[in-house]
Structure 1
Amino acid sequence: MTRTTWRNIPTTPLLFVALAAMWGTSFVAIEVGLEFFPTLTFAAVRYELAGLVMLAYAVYSTDRWRPQTRDELLATAIGAVFIIAAYHGLLYLGQKHVPGAVASIIISLSPILTAVFASAILSNQSLGKTGVLGLLSGFAGVVLVANPGAGLFDSAQGLGIVLIFFGAVSFALGAVLTRPLRTDLPVQSMQAWTMFGGGVILHIWALFRGESLSAIEWAPTGIASFLYLTLISGAVAFLLYFELLDRLGPTELNLIGYVEPVVAALMSWVLLGHAIDTTALVGFGAIFFGFAMMKKKMLVDVAVAVRRRVTV
């Protein structure tokens, strides 16, 4: 009889689930923390601190921690503006009016938007007929989640959904704009500067909105939310991301965006008592179907890779 030891347990699926849990629960943590922090200040301080933590790790673990070439500086700037500042600023502003679980469903549209921008900006990318079908399905899913029959554009929740949608647009656009840039800067270093730079931009945006650090309510729940977002779903989660990226590659890891809404919905129900209605679930299904239409080959490659890993 073979004894089961910790060394026999495959760690990659466990790390994947852990990362999905950290990023999925971040939507709920944002919803909780916004009760105690000014909106953009919350996002700004989170990423400034997370960026500094990641920078310290980059100095310790890599042979180069500063961007030097034009492409490296440009990639860092694009990431800071689009992927950190604009995306999270709009997400946090939207989550003032939208539950975290619903926000996570809207954000799951990002891979579809990424494919759309790639086909428009990169010469070697094309949507094709199935891609157009996938795009339409994805947008239909967002419409279902938004539930326009309830007076979408006349409600605070409608405004929140629109803001989060444009946050997903910003994230997707930033991801595509960085693709043609050539950089040898380690991902830890790139992520550190992107986080910190985005946090600074968010702080400037917060000041223009009249936000102030003095408005922070230092309640235990708010502090716990901030620390969780900064250290766990920020620094620790990105370290797991880098490890999984090395083990799985971007193709398989891309699917984590469709596990996060499940985690967010579950934790939102357990911790806050928020249940996702049937229409929103159907909308999420439509978004995933759209993603599947656009990424059929990728899903087949993932299935083959998983099958090989299981049979080894």
Structure 2
Amino acid sequence: MTRKEMLSFVALLLCATVFMGSSFPAGKFLLSHEHLPPFFLAGWRFVSAGLVVLFFCLVRYGHETVVPRSGGSILRGLGVVTVIGCLQTTAAMGFLNLSMERIDASIASVLFFTNPLWVMLGAHPLGIDRMHTLRAVGLVVGIAGVALCLGVHGMGSIPGLLFALMGAMSWALCTLVTSRFLRFDKPPFTLAGWQMLIGGVVLLGIAALRSESFVMASITSAGLFNLLWLILPASVGSFTLWFVALKRGGPAFTSSFLFLAPLFASLMSVVLLGDTPGPGFFAGGALIFLSIYLVNTRTIRLPRPLRCLLSRRRGAVAGLEGEASP
């Protein structure tokens, strides 16, 4: 990338992760202040966002683009988007909303975005990706960070903490399943639209089974603003910008910036909602951010003086071995 392209790419990533992070305080406000039920809120959020994305694809690219296909088959395509929608939208976001009913948005966001750690735990045995030393260190550091975050909360918060981790693991399972077993023929925008739509419909079905309901006429102007923000910038905007970033920077490099989303979520939750996380949370969060960086990094470039020192030592060792050989 040229300097200009890199600046454009970084701006794109910042916007995408800010929008991702903003979904946490917006969702927490609607759950805690407007008292929207968790599955009802998540269902309407993703049904609306999915319809917007698919309508955009229809207008921009034509009707054939929005037809889900896998290996040329519409039936298999519907199966793929249903599996992904149930794992990444229904399960992950359903668990997340259950979590944010019980704990602060800041801690929920940090635990939810531990999904790269769980992906790496499953990717090596499945042969999807290789475990190396930095990743192993990253996993250990990340698990320590999660344990530290869990330890700073009382027993009454345990269900909320576990729901956040279950959401992260659902997202990770979706990543592993799609990487190893599922194939989709259409562009990422089409997949995102169907995923949100189908996952949202299932969430609304769960909401009906739980007898969740809400009279939308009773929502305040602040609540309406947060709901629209959750649907448009935080869902449609973040998905769209993230897929564009993936296309420009590639999955490995782009995903290494995903830790910015919980960072922005925590900062916005402190400023907008008055969350007051303690030192233990910040220490645990820092370990989790470090672990995500390590998991997404293949090598660490040492400072130049240290590289020179190591190079001289290797040269000296090689010279001694040469003298010792017959």
TM-score range, shorter chain: 0.7 to 0.9
**Does the CA-based 8 Å contact 2:134-2:299 persist in structure 1?**
no
8 Å contact 1:27–1:100 — kept in the other structure? yes
Counterparts of 2:299 and 2:218 in 1: how far apart (Å)? Answer: 46
Q: Please list the CA deviations of residues 43-77 of structure 1 after superposition, one character each: whole Å capped at 9, or x if unmatched.
A: 00000000100110111223521113255333211
Is 1:114 the counterpart of 2:143 in the alignment? Answer: no
Instruction: Give the partner amino acid of 1:103.
Output: A
Aligned to 1:41: 40
Given the alignment of the two structures, is residue 93 of structure 1 paired with residue 90 of structure 2, yes or no?
A: no
Q: Is contact 1:38-1:216 (8 Å) kept? A: no
Q: How many Å separate the matches in 2 of 1:268 and 1:289?
A: 21
1:25-36 to 2 correspondence within 5 Å?
Answer: 25-34=22-31, 35-36=33-34
Residue-pair matches, total: 289
1:111 Cα shift? 0.7
Cα displacement (A) at 1:9? 9.9
Asked if 1:123 is matched to 2:127, the reply is yes
With 240-249 and 184-193 compared, the bigger mean Cα shift is at 240-249
Aligned counterparts of 2:139 and 2:284: Cα–Cα separation in 1: 13
Q: Which runs of 5+ in 2 are unaligned?
A: 302-326
Contact 1:65 1:186 in 2 (8 A): no
Q: Tell me whether 1:81 sits opposite 2:80 in the alignment.
A: no
Structure 1 gaps, min length 5: 1-6, 301-312
Cα distance in 2 for partners of 1:221, 1:57 equals 27
Letter in 2 for 1:186: P
Instruction: Give the alignment's TM-score, normalised by structure 2.
Output: 0.82
1:249 maps to amino acid: G
Task: Tell me the residue number matched to 1:307.
Answer: none
1:12-63 superposed Cα distances (whole Å, 9 cap, x missing partner): 2222111111111111111101132111100000000001001101112235
Matched-pair contact (CA < 8 Å) for 2:255–2:296: no
Tell me if the contact between 1:251 and 1:298 (Cα under 8 Å) persists in the aligned partners: no
TM-score (norm 1): 0.85
The root-mean-square deviation of aligned C-alpha atoms, in Å, is 2.2
Name the residue aligned to 1:174: 174
**Distance in 1 (alpha carbons) for counterparts of 2:111 and 2:7:** 32
Which of 127, 135, 139 is equivalent to 2:139? 135
The 2-side partners of 1:295 and 1:243 are apart by: 19
Aligned to 1:3: none
The answer (yes or no) to whether the contact 1:80–1:195 under 8 Å persists in 2 is yes
- Once the two structures are TM-superposed, the CA of residue 196 in structure 1 deviates from its matched residue by 0.3
- Could you report, residue by residue, the CA deviation over 1:80-109 in whole angstroms, capped at 9, with x for unpaired residues? 110000000000001001111111111221
Query: 4+ runs of 1 displaced by more than 6 Å?
Result: none
Q: Aligned partners of 1:72 and 1:234: how far apart in 2?
A: 23
Are the structure 2 counterparts of residues 20 and 299 from structure 1 closer, same or farther at C-alpha, using a change threshold of 3 Å? farther
- Aligned partner of 1:309 in structure 2 is none
Structure 2 counterpart SS, 1:73: helix
CA distance in 2, matches of 1:18, 1:82: 25
CA distance in 2, matches of 1:217, 1:255: 41
Q: Tell me the residue number matched to 1:56.
A: 55
2:262 paired with 1:251: no
**Number of the residue aligned with 2:235:** 234
Contact in 1 for aligned 2:91/2:170 (Cα 8 Å): yes
**1:13/1:133 Cα in 2 relative to 1: closer, same or farther (>3 Å)?**
closer
